Structure 1
Amino acid sequence: MAIVNRTTDSFWSGARQWDIDVALRAVEDAVTHGADIVDIGGVRAGVGPPISVDEEIGRVVPFIHQVCQLFPDTAFSVDTYRAPVAQAAAQAGVHIINDTWAGHDPNLVTVAATYHLGLVCSHTGGLLPRTDPYRVAYPRRIDQATAAGPDNGDPRDGVLDDVLATVLATANRAEQAGVPPESLLIDPTHDFGKNTWHSLHLVRATQQLVATGYPVLMALSRKDFVGETLGLGPDERLEGTLAATAVAAWNGAKVFRAHDVKETRRVLDMVAALRGDILPQRVTRATN
């Protein structure tokens, strides 16, 4: 899932494709380098100037209509937490709603069902859209519906319990609204409502997320948990992102939201070959 942001203030300067020609080139490059999905957003996820619904629609909907016509074999998602934007994007041809704010607008599931769209079920720990977490904590809780596995004494398992409870509740609500289960993805949503310890733990817990039966989306690209772990700014977080990507892919995650499509595609293909899921493109060494 390639990232294309029709914004001027995304956290990484390399992800600001406000200019229409720059954005179109970004989509073309993403498709050329192996993106299966292109995620188009018009509002910075973090704190920033308010963007009205109409302004967000103006940033993303005409562009979605254009790229859906230009790249008919590519799936497009819209990165929005607001149902009116999702509905307008659906009418423009988008295929997936990427709701990174955990159902803040409850009408998103209705839009997904009405227009037969995929839906990303995310987790923010109750954080309001476009706000930063502060001293977040997730007490360990065990019950039959949300238990992540045996209690190994690690307090960070509380975030896994909360993620599982939240994304499964959203998935259940979406299915009740009429979204087929095969059209749902779950996203632990690293950094959103979480500190770096939480985000690292959720990468390690990929197998427990996969065990839900829903495809798991990982949005790891150049995020703060990578930067804090390595002491690096956004421009220098590629290697750390790819390391986390490889671990999550080995453990069964299926979709990766990425700024660096070519590098991510190569890592995923290599992991798939190591797992035995795909064959090498050629084998000539020591075969004669």
Structure 2
Amino acid sequence: MEHEASNIFFPDIIEPIRQIGARQFDFSRQVAVMAIVNRTPNSFHDQGRTFELSRAVEAALKSVEEGADWVDVGGLAFSAAQPELSVAEEIDRVVPLIAAIRGGTDAVISVDTHRTEVAKAAFEAGADVLNDTNGLREPGIAEAAAEAGAHVIVTHSLGGPNKMVFRPSYQDVVTEVADFLRQRALYALNKGIPASRIIIDPGHDLNKNTYHSLELTRRLREITSIGYPTLVAVSNKDFIGETLDLPQGQRKEGTIVANVVCILQGARILRVHDVRDTVIAVRMTEAMLGWRGPQTPRHNLV
């Protein structure tokens, strides 16, 4: 519903109280912060800073100390402009990292992969969630998630990881993304993944230009109204850089604004690089929405 005298949208969320791994979330009144930790030499933001295993583990555990509820582990970048990576190599990147994180925290762990064998290995190592930027199109991956009892994040992209999509075009990007997410969520249901374990992501900048991503952000309520908890991954992306004419490393403030706008339209999970700053922005937003009280209230003010 739309809040009276405001432009805030509170979607009717399917199973808003979710047990994900060891942690419980109430997405009717809570926003989860997901930290990004990539063991890749070519991720668009970190550029390999957490490629070495010990640095990746350190970054993951630090993000939890800074307030992250969730750590998203990836071993393969989305970009088509990269060398071929075998399934075995991707497993070697993500599985030791997931195992090490699981040994140090009860935070939710997701694996960012579109490959079935990688997903299976990640679940065995302790991952709670499949974050699939390919929309569950790989044969067997939905069944693997269902068998593991994992949550799945169904993300929109036209071509999927490592596929070149030249000048992506849409008649209406929001309508087309929403239709895709409904169809792939239905596919997940038919493969045995219950609605209570489905999360959706419109895929900002994934086979989309800046105008597409801005339109998705403006009209995000059309995505969140589908009913599944909505994740947004806008952190430091090129649509922010192009909008503000800012390079990587100078997009933090733009990212925070975009994330807050998404929360006000119903987003409930934020995938981010700058955890501490995002946690502060999220907790303040939750307080202004009446979902939490002040940490140190003073009742004697006059």
TM-score (structure 1 length as normaliser): 0.89
- Mapped partners of 2:207, 2:136: distance in 1: 14
* Equivalent runs, 1:115-134 vs 2, <5 Å: 115-125=148-158, 127-134=159-166
Kept in 1, the 8 Å contact 2:78–2:160? The answer is no
* Equivalent runs, 1:195-274 vs 2, <5 Å: 195-274=209-288
Q: Which has the higher helix share?
A: 1
Aligned residue type for 1:273: A
2:301 — aligned with what?
A: 287
Question: Any unmatched runs of 5+ in structure 1?
Answer: 140-157
Shift of 1:98: 0.4
- Mapped partners of 1:184, 1:14: distance in 2: 30
Kept in 2, the 8 Å contact 1:36–1:74? The answer is yes
Which protein, 1 or 2, shows the higher relative CO under an 8 Å CA cutoff with sep ≥ 6?
A: 2
Aligned residue type for 1:271: T
1:29 — aligned with what?
A: 62
Shift of 1:34: 1.0
- Mapped partners of 1:177, 1:131: distance in 2: 25
Cα distance per residue 1:126-184 (max 9 Å; x no partner): x1422344222112xxxxxxxxxxxxxxxxxx111111111111111111111111111
1:38 — aligned with what?
A: 71
- Mapped partners of 2:162, 2:78: distance in 1: 5
Pair 1:275 & 2:272 matched: no
* Equivalent runs, 1:129-208 vs 2, <5 Å: 129-139=161-171, 158-208=172-222
SS class of match (1:120): strand
Identity percentage of aligned residues: 39
Cα distance per residue 1:180-208 (max 9 Å; x no partner): 11111100000111110110111111211
1:146 — aligned with what?
A: none
The two structures, once aligned, show a CA RMSD in angstroms of 1.4
Kept in 2, the 8 Å contact 1:61–1:89? The answer is yes
The 1:249/1:116 distance shift into structure 2, 3 A limit, reads same
Aligned residue type for 2:59: A
Q: Which has the higher strand share?
A: 2
2:90 — aligned with what?
A: 56
2:12 — aligned with what?
A: none
Matched residues, number: 268
Q: 1:107 aligns with which of 140, 159, 165?
A: 140
